Chains A and B, each alone.
Chain A
Amino acid sequence: MENNRQVIKNRVAFLDKKIPTYASVLGITGLLIIWETVCRLQIVPPLFLPAPTAIVTAGWDMISSGELFKNLLASLYRIGWGYSIGAIMGIIVGLLLGFSKWADAIFTPIVYSIYPIPKIALLPLIILWFGIGEMPKVAIIALGVFFPVLINTFSGVKSVDPILIKAAATFGANHFNVIRKVILPGALPTIFAGLKLAAGTALLLLVSAEMIAAQYGIGAMVLHYGNLMITNKLMVGVLLLSFLGLVFNRTLQWLERKLIPWK
């Protein structure tokens, strides 16, 4: 009797397998250990790849001398203003293009002809216009952020369910309120996709612009130490950029959860 029993096993148990939280820490610690070992054993010369501990030491020096803070602040100022201006303008123009058929017909061809230009190619022109102060860097970031945000906002507006617009109109909403209470929230998930996309672009343009024309800033710092072949300080800048990107993304994710609680 006992031998005839066939227990049915869950064949899809792998789908809801629980992974312990330390697993994600494991990968990054492993990488750091291998990196440190490779450097300690002098398989790679420290000029090409400094050890993590050497980078940390260099980083600490730069923090205590105030150098890191000064450069970080300069970069944050540029990306903060550039990103905010570009994002807000992109959302406003995207909403208008999405809502008004006239604006759509007139401006969309213009938008699509400027969009594919790599924005960094416009930096020399913008420097000619605005001089070599903070303005051109802020402008180039704003420009780079503006287009992806605009295009995502536009397609977000187009994807709002027309029945919701009809419902709002039925209950007496005017054009402005339809945009504010229906189209804007309806497009918000797509707008956030654009904002996240633009965050990467903003960081890229920040570093490029600072490498071309800046005294301070993380990009300028990285280039400076590269020219001097002080690799461990260069790596501090690179890691700082990675950290900055991470914080940027997390902030947007947090904001998205706050603003889109209905999803």
Chain B
Amino acid sequence: MKIVVENVGKKFTDAKKKEVTALKDINLTIEEEEFVVLVGPSGCGKSTLLNIVGGLLSPSEGQVYFEGIQGKNPNLAIVFQEIALFPWRTVFENVTFGLEEKGVSKKEREEKGKHYIEMVGLTGFENAFPKQLSGGMKQRAGIARALSVEPDLLLMDEPFSALDAQTRTIMQEELLTIWDRTRLSTLYVTHNIQEAVYLADRVIVLSRHPGQIKAVIKIDMPKVGRDQDQYRSQFEQYSNEIWNLIRHDAHEALKEA
């Protein structure tokens, strides 16, 4: 099973009724158990692309489809940058929301809820409301909510960008451990190059005006342990390569209001 993004383009009409091309000719495939990261400067349309893949936005051209899924309805889950936990639901109720909507039995919901809450390290907080949690813990619940539906494709839209730098580092490590256990096909959006190199099997670099694929970089390092000394120079090489691709666009983005 794989996910194919085929000739996808997206046009918006801006406030001055002018047509803006946000995405153009996007073609990419996410293989089974592959972790693909989209990077690009702000305004390159990476979140737009993720929203199109996630079914929250219609493309102006092209389509996104699952291949080899044998007639079953593809199962998606999104981890949002804004976290988007329901404030009126406890951690457990939030985590099992997707299962509830799938009509999963109460018993199974309890088992899976417990399992994934434990996986993200929130055991003991099942009955807390989101308001009572720290930012990192909230996003852990957001991740557990996405994992609990055991999606065919996991989408993550800058999930850690609202967190402080230290929490972020810890969360990246934890995400990798979790991913290693679940092996879900994943599309991950970030503007953080180190994060991309640390997590990705493949990094897709987008340019802006219009958002197009500038380069696809396969990260040829073992999935776990890229922060170790022996990979330091390789890690830096990848980071520099990506930064050099983005640098010009990032400077341009800065000049815009």
Q: Is B80 a contact of A167 with CB atoms below 8 Å?
A: yes
Known: A166-B84, A170-B55, A170-B56. A262 touches B130 (CB 8 A): yes
Q: Is A261 a contact of B82 with CB atoms below 8 Å?
A: no
Q: Is A171 a contact of B86 with CB atoms below 8 Å?
A: no
Q: Which of B78, B86, B129, B145 contacts A164 (CB 8 A)?
A: B86
Q: Which of B88, B97, B101 contacts A262 (CB 8 A)?
A: B88
Whether a CB of chain B sits under 8 angstroms from the CB of A209 is no
Whether a CB of chain B sits under 8 angstroms from the CB of A250 is no
Whether a CB of chain A sits under 8 angstroms from the CB of B77 is yes
Closest to B101 in A: A172
Q: Report Cα–Cα, A244/B255, bound state, in Å.
A: 63
Q: Is B80 a contact of A171 with CB atoms below 8 Å?
A: no
Residue interface bits B3-40, CB-to-A below 8 A is 1, else 0? 00000000000000000000000000000000000000
Q: Which of A163, A181, A188, A260 contacts B84 (CB 8 A)?
A: A163
Closest to B75 in A: A172
Whether a CB of chain A sits under 8 angstroms from the CB of B119 is no
Q: Is B80 a contact of A163 with CB atoms below 8 Å?
A: yes
Chain A: minimal CB distance from B30 (Å)? 17
Whether a CB of chain A sits under 8 angstroms from the CB of B102 is yes
Q: Report Cα–Cα, A124/B129, bound state, in Å.
A: 50
Number of residues from B at the complex interface, CB < 8 A:
22
Q: Which of B56, B82, B98, B131 contacts A172 (CB 8 A)?
A: B98
A161: chain B residues within 8 A (beta carbon): 82, 84
Q: Is A171 a contact of B149 with CB atoms below 8 Å?
A: yes
Of A170, A177, A186, most buried by chain B (CB within 10 Å of CB) is A170
A181: chain B residues within 8 A (beta carbon): 86, 97
Of B98, B101, B129, most buried by chain A (CB within 10 Å of CB) is B101
Whether a CB of chain B sits under 8 angstroms from the CB of A76 is no
Q: Is B76 a contact of A260 with CB atoms below 8 Å?
A: no
Whether a CB of chain B sits under 8 angstroms from the CB of A185 is yes
Whether a CB of chain A sits under 8 angstroms from the CB of B45 is no
B88: chain A residues within 8 A (beta carbon): 185-186, 188, 260-262
Q: Is A167 a contact of B129 with CB atoms below 8 Å?
A: no
Whether a CB of chain B sits under 8 angstroms from the CB of A168 is yes
A177: chain B residues within 8 A (beta carbon): 101
Chain A: minimal CB distance from B183 (Å)? 21
Whether a CB of chain A sits under 8 angstroms from the CB of B225 is no
Chosen A-B contacts, 7 in total, with CB atoms closer than 8 Å, are A166-B78, A168-B101, A170-B55, A170-B77, A185-B86, A188-B88, A262-B129
B residues lining the A interface (CB < 8 Å) = 54-56, 76-78, 80, 82, 84, 86-89, 97-98, 101-102, 129-131, 145, 149
A residues lining the B interface (CB < 8 Å) = 161, 163-164, 166-174, 177, 181-182, 185-186, 188, 260-263
Beyond A172-B98, A174-B101, list 6 extra A-B contacts (CB 8 Å). A163-B80, A167-B78, A167-B84, A171-B149, A181-B97, A263-B87
